[in-house]
Amino acid sequence: MLNVKALYTEYPNDKGEIVKAAQNVTFEVPEGKLFTLLGPSGCGKTTTLRSIAGLERPKSGDITVGGTAVYSSSNNVFIAPNKRNFGMVFQSYAIWPHMNVFQNASFPLDVGNRKFSKKQIEEKVMRVLTAVGLDHVADREATKMSGGQQQRLALARALVMEPKLLLLDEPLSNLDAKLRERMRFELKRMQRELGLTTIYVTHDQSEALALSHEIAVMSAGHIVQIGSPRDIYERPRNKFVADFVGLTNFLDATVEAAETTTEGGYRVNSTIGQMSVTSFEQFGKGDAVLISVRPEDVELYEQRPEGVNVIAAKVDFKVFLGEYMDYQVKVGDHQVLARVHPSFKASVGDTVYLRMNPEKCISIQDDTKYKKAA
């Protein structure tokens, strides 16, 4: 449905220096899917979205929607933003204070190129207001509503033109934590039910994991990995992705040999001892690698358990967080974070045993090309 190919977007900053915002950005989004651009501030995700919307003119590349080019540097095509028929919702909802809910939602129909009768406008507006759960407050002053209701109104206004593509730039960032979580489910339900092809921009990893069919992780203007939420979380390709998406433990290691019994398995000598690990890339004996292990994949025991990757450690620190506990344990001089059930009761200073499933110990490249933004 949406195809972005070799997109380069650059612009001068306040000092006149050229900012390379999007560099060789390429991805496809099938019809009816929600695709998220995820990354830290300044990574190029919003510039990429604005380039798709037509609010930025890229330096080069191609953008096609439903087989029709809206931008092509090679064919000198640039369709104006108002001619692209895309719905857009940004961080600022831009609710008109002098209009009620109905009038805000109908505004794109009132000023658009296509002319609709009063009855058609009423039918279209009430359909989208019903979809977002605001049909019962159509006559209310828009700015008297809660943040969540205003967010839904901005979404209704974007949907009323029945857009080919819905573009969302951090639309939940102005909401408080509980409302943001509730709106994630609401947005996901609506996107699935209406079959909206959606591009979603966020720096919030949990938001991306909860909403997306597919995620593109961006850094320094580049896409560094594209995959399903589970792939991005469980199979990071490099240190940047593993570090940015969720919490993880990093262990320096050297490859000793490939496991003959397990596909993609290796024996390594790590900073906490010998381990069996999994890799989605080929490594040779003596290669320096980085092992990523999520805290929830570090099991803790008071007595030594059976199995592989069992290592003795001492409890250094622990924090009760309600549904789970975080334990910081030390193996020699190296600290490892474990996230366990609150029923585990080891005290600070106690000896405990770590056990890590080799399939959850992911061997990756330490790619220093990508840096996590502050």
pLDDT tens track for 84-118:
889 888 776 678 888 899 999 998 888 777 788 89
In the chain the domains, ranked by start, together with CATH numbers, are 2-239 (3.40.50.300), 247-364 (2.40.50.140)
Is residue 101 classed as helix, strand or coil in its secondary structure? Answer: helix
Which residue did the predictor score with more confidence, 140 or 19? 140
Cα Rg of the chain, angstroms: 25
pLDDT for 216 beyond 80: yes
Is residue 189 classed as helix, strand or coil in its secondary structure? Answer: helix
pTM of the model: 0.86
Query: b vs e for 258-293, b when ≥16 Cβ sit within 10 Å of the residue's Cβ?
Result: beeeeebbbbbebebbebbbbbeeebeeebebbbbb
pLDDT of residue 59: 93
Digit-coded pLDDT (tens) for 41-91: 889 999 999 999 999 999 999 999 999 999 999 999 999 998 888 988 877
pLDDT of residue 82: 83
Kindly give, in sequence order, each residue whose CB lies less than 8 Å from that of residue 353, ignoring residues fewer than 6 positions away: 300, 301, 302, 303, 304, 305, 310, 311, 312, 313
pLDDT of residue 93: 66
